[in-house]
Amino acid sequence: MKHNKLVRDKIPELLKSKWIEFSLDKVEGVEYFKSLKTKLYEEIKEFEETENEEELADIVEVLEAIFDYKGFTAEDINKIKAKKKQERWGFEKWIILIETKE
C-alpha cells in the first residue's frame, strides 16, 4: 500500500513490532514544509469527518511543527490574534456574510 505522507516519529517502530515491511524516506527543508502543509490538510479533513478532540489535537500538533519550522512562537501568534480580535473582533456572534455589493 502506498502512503507517501509525513508520519509520526514512532510509526517505524510500531510497524516493526507488527512485522510489517515498509520503506521510508526523510525529507528536509522545503520538502518537509510541503509535507507539513499536506498533513495539515489531511488532519483538517479528518476533523471535518469526525469532529472529535483527537483530530483537533492532531491539527494543533501539526501547527506547532509548522511554528517550529518557520521560527514562529506561540507568543507571536497570540499577539497577532489579539490584535485582529481587537480590530475585527472574534467569531462569537456566529455571523455569516452572504454578499457584498461593490
pLDDT reported for residue 6: 87
Look at residue 20 and tell me if it is in a domain: no
Look at residue 94 and tell me if it is in a domain: no
pLDDT reported for residue 89: 87
Look at residue 101 and tell me if it is in a domain: no
Contact 57, 45 (CB under 8 A): no
Tell me how far apart the alpha carbons of residues 46 and 81 are, in angstroms, rounded to a whole number: 25
pTM (2 d.p.): 0.80
Residue environment code for 57-89, b if the CB has 16+ CB neighbours within 10 A, otherwise e: ebbeebbebeeeeeeeeeeeeeeeeeeeeeeee
State the total domains in the chain: 1
**2 vs 69: which has the higher pLDDT:** 69
Residue 54 lies in domain = 27-88
Residue type (1 letter), 3: H
**91 vs 62: which has the higher pLDDT:** 62
Tell me how far apart the alpha carbons of residues 22 and 16 are, in angstroms, rounded to a whole number: 8
Q: What is the pLDDT of residues 45-82, one digit of tens each?
A: 999 999 999 999 999 999 999 999 999 998 999 999 99
